[in-house]
Structures are given as C-alpha cells and as structure tokens.
Structure 1
Amino acid sequence: MVRAVPAIVRAPHLFLAEVTRRHGPVAAIPLPRTPVLVLADPDGVRRVLVENARGYGKATIQYSALATVTGPGLLAGDGEVWKQHRRTVQPAFHHGSLEDVAAHAVHAARGLVAEADALPPGTPLEVLGATSRAGLEVVGHTLAAADLSGDAPLLVEAVGRALELVVRRAASPVPAAWPTPARRRLAREVAVIDEVCARIVATRRARPLEDPRDVVGLMLAAGMDDRQVRDELVTFVVAGHETVASSLTWTLDLLARAPSVLARVHAELAGALGGREPGWDDLGKLPLLRAVVDESLRLYPPAWVVTRQALADDVVAGVAVPAGTLVIVCTWGLHRDPALWEAPEEFRPDRFLDAPRPAAGSYVPFGAGPRLCIGRDLALVEEVLVLATLLCERTVRPAGPAPRVDALVTLRPRGGLPLHVERLAPSAS
C-alpha cells in the first residue's frame, strides 16, 4: 500500500479498478484500524446499496470531505433528517415538473450553439466550460424558479474551486485541522458560497411560496431554516450541475471520435425532428441518442466511486464484513469489467438497444436503492435534449488527442476538452 500511494494520488479510479482486476470483485485493502473492501461484484453492490441499504451509512472520508462544502445535505447527509429533506424536495423532480426542465434544456442548448457559432472559423469550443454554462439555466429554474445568471456562475465557480481544494486535501498527509494555505483558501471559497446562497434564498423568500415547484421554494414552504436551505442548494449545484456538465462533455467527445455512431444519431434526429428543435414529446422518438447517453454514463460515470460504512456485521457476496468496514464501490471498474460487459472499453451504444438491460447491480451510474440519485430523470431529460438541440444542425469532431481523465469529485478531462462544432452539410442534415 505504501508503494501504491503515488498511483492512488495520480489516478485513483485506475488503482481501484486494478485492485479488483488482480484480486477479484470483492477485495480487501490492508489498511490499519479500518477494514476496507473494494467492491465490483453486482450481487455485492445490490446487497450494500439496495437489499441492506439501512445497514450502511455515509460516515466515510468521501462524504465527510464533501460535507466541508455542501454541509449535511442530501448528498452527504444520512438518517431521519435526510429522509425528511428528500421528501420535501421530491415534488421538484416529479414527472410533471420535467416538461418544464425540457423547455429550459432546449433553451440552454441554444446558448451553447450560439457560443460555438460566435467563435472564429476553425476555433474549437472548450466543451466543459460551455456545457457548464449551458446547464446554469436548468439549474437555476429547478432550484429557485428564476434566472440565476447573475449569481449562478459565481456560485458554481466557488463550489468548483472549493471541491478541488477538498479533493487535494483528502489526498494530502497533512492533518485537516492544520492551518495550511489551502485550508485558508477553502474557508474563503466557502464564505463566497455562503454569501451567494444567502442572496439567492433571500430573493426567493421575497416571492410567493404558494404551491412552489422549485427546490428552494419547497424547502422554504416546508419551514426549513436558511442554513438547511443553503446546504441543499449547494448540494444540488454539485449533484445537478457538475455531474451533468461532466457527462455531456464525455458524451460529445465519444461521439466526435465515433463518426459512424454520430452519423446514425444525425439520421435519427433528421427522421424524428425533420429539421425543427426537439421538445418534451420527442424524447421517446430518440432511442439511439438515449442509448448514447447510457453508454457514455457507463464509460464515464460522474459518480465514479461510491462509499459506505457498515453499521453492523454483514455478509457481502459470501464475504464476512465486520461493522465499521469502509466499502468502496468502484463504479468505473464495475462498468468496465470484461466479465460483465463485452468489449468493455469500446463505445457501443447498441448494447443498450439490442441486448437485454444490464444485470442488476452491474450498471449504477446514479447509484441504486433508496439513495438512488433524486435527479436521475431530470439529468437524462436534460442531457438528451441538450444533445438533440446541438446535433440537429451541428456536428462535432476532435480538436486533439483523447483527453486523460482526472478523477476528482466527478470525472473531468484533464486540461479541458476542445472540440470543433460545425454546421452540418446540407446533405447530412
């Protein structure tokens, strides 16, 4: 393990995948004090996340680090308070609310197209930044039923910087309580987050709260205090903005490097839309594009690792797991296991069209069980319609070699991702 430290710091997703490749899908890591189990076994994943979900808590290093920024919100929280908060905000993610999300996703995608069109000819678009900006409108209306274009960028940038500092601190041997420069920078970023959130909450509180459909309105109407609202607001910026931007970025990169798949997507869009913009009613007419998103989430799951702590003794995939064990579900490795997936490193959207659905526990880009991501359906609607709006009259091609992966809070392309975004030739549209 001492020799492995550089590899863990450099590419933790690859290290965990290598552990299960070499030692099997249920592998113990020899660390002092806390037993650690790395899990890439579908039945074991179901046991921990679904069948015995109550037997596992989130008091882990991963979520404690995230809570430094998000507070004990839905992402990092646990217990009865988590259940109450989830019930409170659930209506913002009901099926009836998703039609509004669809309209905002299309509008946000128009801005992404306009941003690409405004570039000088031959200049690639920095996709990660563009998808992040495109998602701000959807996040704003889902969170606070408002255009947050003034505050959202400041909030997102501060959250991003804070999370980067948290990830670095988690990998550092220096005790977290020491007053290091990084810790002071983190405190400054959290202060900015608090200030912006207070402004957003105050603005929303000043507007009517009768029958709200947005997250902040629902929380205020339920009587949650400003600190609780702040924590959930930051949580949804992380879970609803950072993850979608990451997934859209990788999906566009995969399509740009798979021209045959991209041509089929263009043909599907031409047949389903006939040159017009997509909308809510078109989601069911785009099975290939949905399969592209599913396959992208397999290869690049934003939540590339999920951790739990055993609250009591258990048995997982035939292995005794004592109370206190840290269980690490390596989604990256699970989704690329050759025992579960044919040609696992290849981008093959058809595996989500032609074959039976993946076996339970083998495909968990949004988690599973009672802690299944509350925004799963929202994210899928947003991603499919952003891609459909962009690609109905545009195409993408690489502007350089395939990027390396940085496994931070989400999976990010190291150094960003430039892609050429160009108008489709008339014969291809």
Structure 2
Amino acid sequence: MTVATRLQSMQPTDIGVPGPTPGDMARAFRSVRRDPLTFLEQVTAHYGDRVSFPVPGAPALLVNDPDEVRHVLQVSARNWNKKTVQYGALARVTGQGLLASAEPSWIEHRRTAAPAFHHQRLEAVSDEVRAAADTALAAGLAGLVPGTGRVVDVAALTHRVGLDAVGRALFSADLTGHAQQLLDATSDAAELVVRLGRSVMPTARWAPSPTNVRLRLTRRRLDAITAQLVAERRSHGRAGSGAAYGDDLLGLLLDSGLTDVEVRDELVTMVIAGHETVAAALTWTLMLLAEHPDAQERARAELAGLPAPVSMLDHRDRLPWTRAVIDEALRLYPPAWAISRRSIGPDSLGGTDVPEGTLAIISPWVVHRRADLWPDPLAFRPERFLDPGAGRSGYLPFGLGPRLCIGREFAIGEMAVVLDRLLTTHRVAVPDGWRRPRPQAQVAVHPEGGMPLLLTRLRAERRD
C-alpha cells in the first residue's frame, strides 16, 4: 500500500473540528514533508485556531489559540504526556532523557539535573562559555585584521561554539578533541529523528531498513563518546568520603545514583538539545542583525558599554536591548518549531470535548506569527520586548509549564555571551547578492545550505 493510498483510506474520529481531508493530505504529502512550516501556516490560515488532521483513531489537532496552548502545556499538563511519534523518534537517539521522556521518572531526573542550571552555577561557568566562543571565533575568523572582511558560514561557526560551550559548561570538559565526531553524529541523529518523526508508515525497529541501520550506527558513535566521558570521570573516584563527582551536570548525574544507561541518556539529550537549539537561534539572530544594521549598532554599543565581559546572567537586567534582540529572534525563528502532547484522559479544548488519546500539535512557529498578538508579525522589531508584558501570552520558544526547557537560562545567557564576543570586535553584514536561506525544519529550525554572512574585523583587542 502506497503512502497516498493509506492516507486516503484513513477514517478519523469526527469531533466537529475542520481540517484537510485524507485526499487533501495525500495530495499535499510531498510538500508537507519538504516544507512543514509553510504547510502549518497554510492550514492555520485556512481552517483557524484548531485544525483536525485525518488520522485513524483518536483525533490529531493543531492547536493555535494561546489559551488552548496554555491549557495543554500548563493548566492541564498532568493530562497531556509525551507519548507521541515526535518524542518517540527522538527517544530512539536520546533514550529516556529529559527532553523525550514520557515516563513518570522524568520529574526525578529533572530535580537531579536542576542544580547544574542554577543561577549561581551559570554565573560560575561564564568564563568557560567565553572561552568556547573565543576558541571557535579564533579558528573560524583566523587571519582577519581590522578593516578586513570575509564571508563566513555562521551556521557552522555557531554549531562549534554551541558544542564546545555545552562540553565546557555542563561536563567540565573541552570537547574540541571530539568536536567533529560529535558534530557528525548529532547531525546524523537530527536528520534521522526528523525522518522517523514524519513517517506515516513507521518501520519496525528490528527491520534492517536504511534508516534503522544508520540509526544504530549513530547511537553507537554517541554511546562511545559519552561512555568515554563517564569512564574518565568515574576513574577519578571520589575525593573523599561523601564527596561528589563534581558540581557540573555529569557529576550530579553520577552522584545521584542513576545507572550508566540513564546517565548516557541525559548526556546525549543535553549535547543534542544544548547545542542544536542555541546554534540555530544564534545563526538566525546574526542574520537579522546583519539585515538591520541600526539594531546591530545599538546592541554593539550596549555590549561595549559594560565595564567587564558579559556574563551568563547579564541579559536579565543589564542588557535590555540585547535581550530584546534575542527574544525577537526567538519569536521569528523558534528553534523548537513543533511541540506535541497526547491526552491521558478526556479533556476540553476551546469548548470542544476531546477523547482520551487525542494528539495536540503546537507550533511556536505559527503562534509567534499571530497578527492579533504581534502587529506586523513578520517584521524584526526588538522594541516589542522592551515592554515586559508584550505578547507574553503567545510566546513559547522554550515551551510552557512543568516541561519548560530546563536549559532556557543557559541558552539565553550563552547567546548574550557569544554576541558580546563577536559584535564588539566584528561587524556582521549581508554579502552581495544576498537572499535569505529557506528555513529548514529539523530538530531545530536551521537555514538550508548554511548562513553565509560578511564579517568585518573592527578592532584587534578583546576584553578579557
């Protein structure tokens, strides 16, 4: 049976919510797989705040209304879990780590990991994140002297920054030696997760399909790298009776009594989620600043005006414009473009009763483009976020509720630090013949084909 035939034969549960027919979905199948972001925008424009997709069994709904989004993710979060195709696909790479886990044990794992993301810890690792940024920038921009410029793929550059920052900050390890292995493995993992998550007819895990074979090889590579990190830390033993393995994430996980498999799952989750999302967000932020030189100059002046290098927490009260730039970039290009939940029991969405097993699909990409919340929603206007209450009911780049991303403060802090290290010494501009890369919906939203931007050196010295 072909994919189109299966789509056309689906008999969805009718709950009175409009949406495309099985025939519509069959005809749009290729375009949906190629560009799901445009598809989600189109069905929202056509059908409204709730869209029903034709799937057998319990309903599958795209939920766009901010109040209904909050109901699923926050108000009634106990009734909506992560037993969905999206997170099931991710779990085949990350295991039952915090991001993908649908098990009740996720809350205990979150409590174990939480101290690694505490404000005091983030402030303490600012030097490490600056070092990661400086190392990657020095390698990627080698040879530039004041007044000279070069077109650089900043997508590749921010990936290296993100990976090194995660390694130094969360594992107290410079992952530079493993960087290419990890980049290759996590890139392969991201591609496979997307392929599995979009599959209409999933292949059994045991089947020797090309995707399954690649997935097993990718897992082995990730397993080998994380096993080495764990073994090296365990080999040091405890410093004394009752002493911990360390106060970074790896030490906290080992000291908590988790099994090596559980530790591995959390490490792989943090490596993939921690560098994929930040790298993507930084890439789009730099593009937007290149396109809007006035906003860039204002950020540069604010960053340079601080008496010392930016720390991981300065974005909270010392960098209002830079933080507004980050927030607006996350609004326009949220790395997590889709969130899904499955109802454990019956519920109600916007006055419509939905049965147990209902799938709710929430797209920050779509919600962040609501004209009723964000006037001129496609425009880059950081000043929106200078008003603390602006649009907050429809802003969820890191999710909402109890499953709010544990690394939110780390991600925003890292972005501020990297912007400081780059913008105070370089100007970012669009090259001749510039065209925006097409957003590509993978695990995060990345630019198709990279992000070539012109970086010009302004001065040689850097604040220590």
Task: Please report the TM-score for the alignment, with normalisation by the length of structure 1.
Answer: 0.94
Residue 184 of structure 2 corresponds to residue 184 of structure 1 = no
Conserved in 1, the CA contact under 8 Å of 2:331 and 2:368? Answer: yes
Residue 133 of structure 2 corresponds to residue 99 of structure 1 = no
Q: How many Å apart are 1:355 and its aligned residue?
A: 6.4
- Change in 2 beyond 3 A, CA 1:142/1:105: closer
Distance 1:143 1:356 in 2: 32
- Residue 288 of structure 1 corresponds to 321
How large is the RMSD of aligned CA atoms in angstroms? Answer: 2.0
Q: How many Å apart are 1:14 and its aligned residue?
A: 1.7
Q: How many Å apart are 1:379 and its aligned residue?
A: 0.8
- Residue 405 of structure 2 corresponds to 373
- Change in 2 beyond 3 A, CA 1:142/1:80: farther
Larger mean Cα displacement after TM superposition, 212-221 or 228-237? 212-221
Return the match for 1:398 from 427, 430, 435. Answer: 430
Distance 1:281 1:199 in 2: 31
Q: How many Å apart are 1:172 and its aligned residue?
A: 4.4
Distance 1:336 1:52 in 2: 24
Residue 257 of structure 2 corresponds to residue 233 of structure 1 = no
Provide the secondary structure at the position in 1 that maps to 2:353: strand
Residue 197 of structure 2 corresponds to residue 163 of structure 1 = no
Structure whose alpha-carbon radius of gyration is higher: 2
Return the match for 2:156 from 129, 147, 156. Answer: 129
Residue 302 of structure 2 corresponds to residue 278 of structure 1 = no
Conserved in 1, the CA contact under 8 Å of 2:312 and 2:410? Answer: no
Q: Deviations over 1:99-133 (max 9, x none)?
A: 12322222222223323431575531111111111
Conserved in 1, the CA contact under 8 Å of 2:340 and 2:362? Answer: yes
Mark the runs of 5 or more structure 1 residues left unpaired by the alignment: none
Return the match for 1:388 from 420, 426, 433. Answer: 420
Return the match for 2:112 from 88, 104, 108. Answer: 88
Count of equivalent residues: 424
- Residue 298 of structure 2 corresponds to 264
- Residue 205 of structure 1 corresponds to 234
Residue 224 of structure 2 corresponds to residue 195 of structure 1 = yes
Larger mean Cα displacement after TM superposition, 115-124 or 43-52? 115-124
Larger mean Cα displacement after TM superposition, 140-149 or 300-309? 140-149
Return the match for 1:332 from 362, 365, 380. Answer: 365
Distance 2:313 2:388 in 1: 25
Distance 1:216 1:279 in 2: 22
**AA of the residue aligned to 1:382:** E
Distance 1:281 1:197 in 2: 29
Conserved in 1, the CA contact under 8 Å of 2:313 and 2:413? Answer: no
Return the match for 1:308 from 317, 341, 348. Answer: 341
- Change in 2 beyond 3 A, CA 1:51/1:170: closer
Residue 396 of structure 2 corresponds to residue 364 of structure 1 = yes
Distance 1:327 1:11 in 2: 20
User: What does residue range 43-54 of structure 1 map to in structure 2 within 5 Å?
Assistant: 43-54=67-78
Conserved in 2, the CA contact under 8 Å of 1:269 and 1:388? Answer: yes
Larger mean Cα displacement after TM superposition, 282-291 or 302-311? 282-291
Distance 1:230 1:270 in 2: 40
Q: Deviations over 1:321-377 (max 9, x none)?
A: 2111110001100001112111100110000004633242x1000001100000101
Q: How many Å apart are 1:19 and its aligned residue?
A: 1.5
Q: How many Å apart are 1:259 and its aligned residue?
A: 1.2
Distance 1:299 1:382 in 2: 19
**AA of the residue aligned to 1:272:** L
Q: How many Å apart are 1:16 and its aligned residue?
A: 1.4
Distance 2:313 2:100 in 1: 35
Distance 1:282 1:47 in 2: 32
> Relative contact order (alpha carbons < 8 A, sep ≥ 6): 1 or 2 greater?
1
Distance 1:229 1:238 in 2: 14
Q: How many Å apart are 1:25 and its aligned residue?
A: 1.2
Distance 1:264 1:372 in 2: 31
Conserved in 2, the CA contact under 8 Å of 1:404 and 1:414? Answer: yes
- Change in 2 beyond 3 A, CA 1:106/1:412: same
Return the match for 1:113 from 107, 116, 137. Answer: 137
- Change in 2 beyond 3 A, CA 1:130/1:179: same
Conserved in 2, the CA contact under 8 Å of 1:20 and 1:27? Answer: yes
Provide the secondary structure at the position in 2 that maps to 1:149: helix
- Residue 445 of structure 2 corresponds to 411
**AA of the residue aligned to 1:297:** L
Residue 176 of structure 2 corresponds to residue 149 of structure 1 = yes
Provide the secondary structure at the position in 2 that maps to 1:395: strand
- Change in 2 beyond 3 A, CA 1:305/1:36: same
Provide the secondary structure at the position in 1 that maps to 2:133: helix
**AA of the residue aligned to 2:270:** F
Conserved in 1, the CA contact under 8 Å of 2:151 and 2:452? Answer: yes
Larger mean Cα displacement after TM superposition, 17-26 or 308-317? 17-26
**AA of the residue aligned to 1:133:** R
Mark the runs of 5 or more structure 2 residues left unpaired by the alignment: 1-24
Larger mean Cα displacement after TM superposition, 16-25 or 290-299? 16-25
Conserved in 1, the CA contact under 8 Å of 2:310 and 2:416? Answer: no
Conserved in 2, the CA contact under 8 Å of 1:140 and 1:152? Answer: no
Q: How many Å apart are 1:166 and its aligned residue?
A: 2.8
Larger mean Cα displacement after TM superposition, 262-271 or 186-195? 262-271
User: What does residue range 27-46 of structure 1 map to in structure 2 within 5 Å?
Assistant: 27-46=51-70
